[in-house]
Amino acid sequence: MIWLGWRQQRTETLIAAALLALVAAILVPSGIEMAHAYSRDGLSHCLGFNKAGGNLACGNVIGSFEQRFSKYSSLVDWFTLLPGLIGVVLAAPYALELERGTNRLAWTQSITRRRWVTTKLGLAAGSALVAATALILLLVWWRQPFVRLDGRMDNGVFDSQGVVIIGYTLFALGLALAIGAVWRRAIPAVMVAFVGYFVARIFTDIWLRQRFAPTESLTWRPANGPDPARLRHAWVITEGPSDKFGHLLGAGKASVCAGPGCPFPGPPNWMHAVFVPASDFWSLQFTELGLFAAIALALIAFAGWWTLHRE
């Protein structure tokens, strides 16, 4: 049965591997380039310096580094779709079997239906895990210089670090398996699942994550010195001028401006920020992983149950 599962997954496994190879082809050369630039330009000495203030030389070095590699960074931001793509591709063999009815051939051999379902779903999930891990390794390695500079808590970076990609890939897989099991038309199911993945990711990034993240608040006087250490490399959800009790004045982010058009002449007396500190990276990662993985496992189990009980 394992032989049969692999044999049927052959094409899709190759597609997933090809996607990863493509990713590697983009990331490896540029990653090496960035790592070289990082050490050669002595950027490690500049960490901890605020771009705007502090050492001017460091500011220039950091600025030129970012300018040089920002184009890669924005390309790699699109890679956030990859877990979804890989997940739905690996779900395709299962859905195709149900669509064509070839599962009935296996069911009239001597293995039980239950074993067929668990083996196929297990292989798909296992492959998804391996692919997700490979993707994580590539992305984490690639992004190292930027992470050292800007941290890894911001939206757009957080989701390519740590372990959440495993959850995303399994979620996309589970969604495609569940839709494919019920609908029995593989290509539409895969496409709908991919859209579903996309929507879920946006929803999480924009709305959900900040609601289950362990946020902290801080009110401080900018005049007292540099920004609080706790804010360094944190995920800043809101930040702005406030009164000394922390109630925000006006809306949105801080803008230190001087000049006649400014709402507040000169730097504000107090600033308030709601944020998730960098030290919470792993707990937030595992929370989000747990959420996506739990939903994924429920979807995969549903797909199996539906297949077994449909007829």
Partner 1 sequence: MSDAAIRADGLGKQYGSNWALRDATLEVPAGSVTALVGPNGAGKTTLLKLAVGLTRPSEGTVNVLGLEPRKDEAELMPRLGFVAQEHPLHSGFSVKDTLTLGRRLNPSWNDEIARKRIEHLDIPLDRKLGKLSGGQQAQVALTLALAKQPDVLLLDEPVASLDPLARREFLNSVMEAVSEREMTVVLSSHIVTDLERVCDHLIVLSHARTLLAASIDHVLASHRLLTGPRGGDDVVARVHNVIRESHTERQTSLVVNANGHVYDSRWEVHELDLEEIVLAYLGYRALEAVT
Closer to partner 1 at the Cβ: 100 or 244?
100
Closer to partner 1 at the Cβ: 74 or 102?
102
Distances (CA, A) of 229 to 48, 148, 278: 10, 15, 11
Closer to partner 1 at the Cβ: 104 or 253?
104
| Three-state DSSP state, 233 | coil
Do the Cβ atoms of 38 and 145 come closer than 8 Å? yes
Question: Which residue spans within 232-301 are E strands per DSSP?
Answer: 235-242, 270-276
**Residues whose CB falls within 8 Å of the CB of residue 140, separated by 6 or more in sequence, listed in order:** 160, 161, 162
CB of 307 to partner 1, least distance (A): 13
CB of 126 to partner 1, least distance (A): 19
Closer to partner 1 at the Cβ: 140 or 308?
308
Apex CA 95: angle with CA 93 and CA 21, to 5°?
A: 35
Task: Using alpha carbons, select from 59, 64, 26, 31 the residue that is nearest to residue 45.
Answer: 59
CB of 111 to partner 1, least distance (A): 5
CB of 96 to partner 1, least distance (A): 10
How far is residue 112's CA from residue 114's CA, in Å, rounded to a whole number?
Answer: 5
CB of 59 to partner 1, least distance (A): 59
Closer to partner 1 at the Cβ: 97 or 280?
97
How far is residue 89's CA from residue 213's CA, in Å, rounded to a whole number?
Answer: 31
CB of 120 to partner 1, least distance (A): 13
CB of 117 to partner 1, least distance (A): 13
Closer to partner 1 at the Cβ: 105 or 298?
105
**Which phi and psi (to 5°) does residue 55 adopt?**
-60, 120
Sites of contact with partner 1 (CB under 8 A): 1, 3-4, 7-8, 100-102, 104-113, 311
Distance of CA 32 to the CA centre of its chain: 22
Closer to partner 1 at the Cβ: 3 or 78?
3
Closer to partner 1 at the Cβ: 3 or 207?
3
Coarse DSSP helix, strand, coil percentages of the chain, rounded to the nearest 5 percent: 70, 5, 25
CB of 178 to partner 1, least distance (A): 22
Residue 177's Cβ-count burial label (10 Å; 0-12, 13-18, 19+) is: buried
